[in-house]
Amino acid sequence: MAAQKRENFGGRLAVILAMAGSAIGLGNIWRFPYMVGEHGGAVFMIVYVVCTLLVSLPVFLAEVMIGRRSHTNALDAFARLSRQHPFWRAVGYLPILIPTLIASYYSVIGGWSLEYFFKSCTLTFVRTPADQVSGLFGAFVASPWAPVLTHLVFLGASVLVVAGGVKSGIEKFSKITLPALFVLILVILIYSVSLPGAGEGVRYLLHPDWSELSPRTFAYALGQSFYSLSLGMGCIITYGSYVSKKENILTTSAGTAISDLLFAVLAGFAIMPAVFAAGIEPGAGPGLIFQSIPFVFAKMGADLPLVSSVVSIVFFLAIIVAAMTSCISLIEVGVAFLVERARLSRRAACRVLFGVCGLLGVLCSLSFGPLAGLQIFGRTVFDFLDWLCSNILLLLMALLAVVFVGFVLPRRVPQDEFTSRGRYPFNARIFPVVYFLIKWVAPIAVVIIFFTNFNL
Ligand code: PHE
């Protein structure tokens, strides 16, 4: 993706939109709400905001700096800036491995969204009584065929787009669907908080129960924050390499982080009240939105069947598009690597990725049904892969990025990048604080959290 063209983004808004496009995805709308539900509600939200501002934003800045300075793809960036140091050359392979693993289970969720889109089109939610609608999910994921099929269809469609090259069409499309998703989530939020019994959900998000706070909360909040900002997988390094030398990276990075944060919080407030109104357990795990959102549609359907059907169709379509644009960028990393380094044709590389991600994804999908008993370190295949990526590999990669900027590069390099060679006096003034966060706070926080993870 990165090596052939070395264009720059058109301007500040284009950079923020592109980065926010990568950041805002299933991570915000599917993963964040169930993480909140599993890890103590309001407490998790607060820890999440703190982690994002104090740790993830500095990591984000460090990755943009690496990308913009090296002006190349994630694999070569570390090698180039370290002058081909063997250790840092090897590090470059991690951002190839991680997105490929994530694409495998990401497309399983993409498949679920596809199924829920079909269900909306066939008016299932409007026709099913509200108290039974959340039960549809369990039956669907436990069946051996349907979720495997939707996963393969979703992955296949994403791979096909990658095989044809990412055309401007899909990018333009996602620029429309992303704001649409924003509006739709607001509509659902308003409806969801007005449901009887929803107040409990709002209280759950606003009143922290500090007894829920544990090292585990920090570990999962930081992992979630990295995941949501597409950190630790070479994505932001690659995007950073397209940012013009004149751009103020503080504005673009903070803009991206804040819109991502806002979207996650909105999704939390749209989904949690519905969870309580439907009487679903907040810690229900990965199926949470697929159980709670249809309940909203079923309730809405009782009063306004037409509106409910249209909103549900558009809503799941927007999720599919948001998920697919993210999935495409995840697959593209592996494909670009196989094309440039293993000299495969683009088609062959796509076939390899379809094979690898398809197979791993099938195992993830079956882990909700027939393979539920197959456990790795006490987790199902799906949970293990998600945990390995979000709580181990992303942290490791992010740690390497901040250590690289803080300790391997001479101080003037991040300083030049952060101030765009002295162009922005405000940035110059706050640079010592940012440098301190990158050099000390972020690595220490990540190391502590990394080790807590092994005791969870
Ligand atoms: N950040 C995306 C999300 O929140 C996931 C993703 C990571 C997508 C990296 C692309 C690249 O869903």
Give DSSP secondary structure letters for 150-184. Answer: HHHHHHHHHHHHHHT---HHHHHHHHHHHHHHHHH
> CA 183: distance to chain centroid?
20
What value does the mean pLDDT take over residues 260-264?
A: 94
The CATH number given to whatever domain includes residue 112 is 1.20.1740.10
Q: Is any atom of ligand 1 closer than 6 Å to the C-beta of 235?
A: yes
Contact 22, 329 (CB under 8 A): yes
Angle, helix 146-163 to helix 305-341, in steps of 10 degrees? 60
Which pLDDT value is given to residue 164?
Answer: 82
pLDDT tens track for 203-235:
999 999 999 999 889 999 999 999 999 999 888
Which pLDDT value is given to residue 170?
Answer: 61
Of the ranges 3-12, 155-164, 423-432, the best mean pLDDT one: 423-432
pLDDT confidence tier of residue 376, bands split at 50, 70 and 90: very high
pLDDT tens track for 150-205:
999 999 999 998 888 765 656 666 677 778 888 989 999 999 999 999 999 999 99
Determine, yes or no, domain membership for 7: no
Distance 307 CA to ligand 1 centre (A): 30
Contact 56, 437 (CB under 8 A): no
| Residue 344 DSSP one-character state | -
Answer yes or no: is pLDDT of 4 > 60: no
CB-count burial class (<10 Å; 0-12, 13-18, 19+) for 304: middle
Q: Is any atom of ligand 1 closer than 6 Å to the C-beta of 238?
A: no
Q: Is any atom of ligand 1 closer than 6 Å to the C-beta of 256?
A: no
Q: Is any atom of ligand 1 closer than 6 Å to the C-beta of 366?
A: no
Which residue is associated with the tokens 């991600």? 357
Rounded Cα distance between 368 and 142, Å, is 5
Phi-psi region of 84 (alpha: psi -120 to 50; beta: other; left: phi over 0): left
**Which atom in ligand 1 lies closest to the alpha carbon of residue 229?**
1
Determine, yes or no, domain membership for 405: yes
**Threshold 0.85, pTM exceeds:** yes
**Amino acid occupying residue 326:** S
pLDDT confidence tier of residue 449, bands split at 50, 70 and 90: confident
Which pLDDT value is given to residue 167?
Answer: 58
Answer yes or no: is pLDDT of 2 > 60: no
Angle among Cα 135, 228, 102 to the nearest 5 degrees reads 75
Which pLDDT value is given to residue 456?
Answer: 54
Which pLDDT value is given to residue 168?
Answer: 62
Q: What residues make up the domain containing 381? A: 12-453
Determine, yes or no, domain membership for 362: yes
Q: Is any atom of ligand 1 closer than 6 Å to the C-beta of 233?
A: yes
Which pLDDT value is given to residue 394?
Answer: 93
Distance 106 CA to ligand 1 centre (A): 9
**Which atom in ligand 1 lies closest to the alpha carbon of residue 260?**
4
Distance 19 CA to ligand 1 centre (A): 10
Distance 331 CA to ligand 1 centre (A): 11
For 377-383, which contacts have Cβ atoms below 8 Å and span 24 or more sequence positions?
382/105, 382/108, 382/286
Q: Is any atom of ligand 1 closer than 6 Å to the C-beta of 56?
A: no
Which pLDDT value is given to residue 44?
Answer: 97
Beta strands at 379-380 and 375-376: parallel, antiparallel or unpaired: antiparallel
pLDDT tens track for 297-350:
999 898 889 999 998 998 899 899 889 888 988 998 898 889 888 899 989 999
Distance 26 CA to ligand 1 centre (A): 7
Q: What percent of the chain has pLDDT over 70?
A: 96
Beta-bridged to residue 379, according to DSSP, are: 376
Distance 196 CA to ligand 1 centre (A): 34
Determine, yes or no, domain membership for 432: yes
Question: What are 282's two structure tokens?
Answer: 């907040």
Determine, yes or no, domain membership for 252: yes
Which pLDDT value is given to residue 6?
Answer: 58
Determine, yes or no, domain membership for 2: no
Distance 239 CA to ligand 1 centre (A): 13
Determine, yes or no, domain membership for 28: yes
pLDDT tens track for 125-155:
999 998 899 899 999 999 999 999 999 999 9
Total domains in the fold of the chain: 1
Determine, yes or no, domain membership for 6: no
Separation in Å, CA 170 to CA 19, 78, 113, 404: 15, 30, 18, 34
Rounded Cα distance between 189 and 137, Å, is 21
Q: Is any atom of ligand 1 closer than 6 Å to the C-beta of 288?
A: no
Answer yes or no: is pLDDT of 1 > 50: no
- Specify the residue with its C-alpha closest to ligand 1, atom 9: 230
